[in-house]
Structure 1
Amino acid sequence: MDGLSWRPMMPHDLGAVVALAEALFPDHYEAPERFAERLRASPTFCRVLAPEAGAIRGYLIAYPWPLGRIPPLNQALESIAGHDAIHVHDLGLHPRAAGQGHARAAVADLVARSDGAAIALVAVNRSVPFWRAHGFREAPCPPSAEKLASYGADARYMVRRP
């Protein structure tokens, strides 16, 4: 997997991103139009991991969102203008790209581009230790308890403060 680097996600990447998301997160289905909407809403924070020419091996989707609120799965977003945090919606790596520091690089890049804003996410699939290692801490999210439960029994709302 040499030669992989993170670059801005482009509309022509969406088919590969959706296919990878479906393979990695079968219990968290989101329609292709949700991916396109999130890219249009926040191209600054949407990235793909790929060689200069070749198949996408990872993706990161993030966008401005209110701290303490959880976006619903597979539903249209409200306006993202003026929100006080960055929400990591998805970070996914093809199994052949895992364990090589690419996820760590994606998080570092996101932190650098966040301009000092808090970064929040819902950790799923037993990923809490990974996020903890990158400065995220579990945070209460009582108004969104129902939405949090929709992400699965092991889902945890986590925040990385500047």
Structure 2
Amino acid sequence: MLHRDIAWRAMSGYDLDAVFDIANKVHPDFFEAREVLAERHELYRNGCYLLEVSEKPAGYVLSHPWRLGSLPELNVPLGALPEDADTYYIHDIALLPLTRGLGAAGQIIEALTKHARVMGFATMSLVAVNGSLAFWERQGFCTSDRPELADKLASYEDAARYMIKDLDQTRA
């Protein structure tokens, strides 16, 4: 359960400096330029949220429609979202250590799952890094062996895994 002073809210352009700072603290080995993060926000604002603790930025999530079985490259602008998007992709979730154990990550994943269902996606997908595999499995994601993604996954880290969550379209 979240405390009163912990809340997710829609990300705005004014939050991008804070997002960039959090990204560099939480994911120092997965650098992405501020401009790349800003483009993700610009392309799909409905998938970008900021976590605040006592009204101070403490985490974020960037997500957007994408193609199942493919990965956006790290630190490379997308240019546009694919018109034939068939999965809802979680590009990044980053939480400062002070938020761990409060349920904030699970809360935003639940909200994104509802959003993906409403938008008609049959799946969600992501790349698990930083030892997060068990967390994503608890959220309903399963590792998907995709040999064609091996080189891109290796560009993240050796332990990176492509994961998919099948969404039951009959549940709300």
- Indicate the TM-score class for this superposition, using the shorter chain for normalisation: over 0.9
**1:66 and 2:67 equivalent?**
yes
Which runs of structure 1 show a deviation greater than 3 angstroms over 4 or more consecutive aligned residues?
none
Kept after mapping to 1: 8 A contact 2:153/2:160 = yes
Q: Aligned partners of 2:148, 2:159: CA distance in 1, in Å?
A: 18
Q: What secondary structure is seen at the aligned counterpart in 2 of 1:121? A: strand
Matched to 2:148, the amino acid is P
Q: What secondary structure is seen at the aligned counterpart in 1 of 2:112? A: helix
Matched to 1:138, the amino acid is T
Q: Aligned partners of 2:69, 2:101: CA distance in 1, in Å?
A: 30
Kept after mapping to 2: 8 A contact 1:120/1:160 = yes
Q: Deviations over 1:34-89 (max 9, x none)?
A: 010000011001111115x7311110000111001011000011421330111111
**1:98 and 2:105 equivalent?**
no
Residue correspondences, number: 161
Q: Which of 119, 127, 130 in structure 1 is aligned with 2:132?
A: 127
Q: Which of 146, 153, 162 in structure 1 is aligned with 2:151?
A: 146
Matched to 1:128, the amino acid is L
Q: Deviations over 1:77-109 (max 9, x none)?
A: 142133011111111111111110000001001
Kept after mapping to 1: 8 A contact 2:89/2:125 = yes
Kept after mapping to 2: 8 A contact 1:61/1:91 = yes
Which runs of 5 or more structure 2 residues have no equivalent in the other structure?
168-172
RMSD: 1.3
Q: If the length of structure 2 is used for normalisation, what is the TM-score?
A: 0.89
Kept after mapping to 1: 8 A contact 2:5/2:55 = no
Q: Which of 136, 139, 161 in structure 1 is aligned with 2:141?
A: 136
Matched to 2:64, the amino acid is Y
Q: What secondary structure is seen at the aligned counterpart in 1 of 2:39? A: helix
After TM superposition, give the deviation of residue 2 of structure 1 in Å. Answer: 4.4
Which runs of 5 or more structure 1 residues have no equivalent in the other structure?
none
Q: If the length of structure 1 is used for normalisation, what is the TM-score?
A: 0.95
Match of 2:77 in 1: 76
Kept after mapping to 1: 8 A contact 2:50/2:59 = yes
After TM superposition, give the deviation of residue 141 of structure 1 in Å. Answer: 2.1
Question: Identity of counterpart residues, as a percentage?
Answer: 37
Matched to 1:68, the amino acid is G
Matched to 1:112, the amino acid is K
Q: Aligned partners of 1:106, 1:18: CA distance in 2, in Å?
A: 19
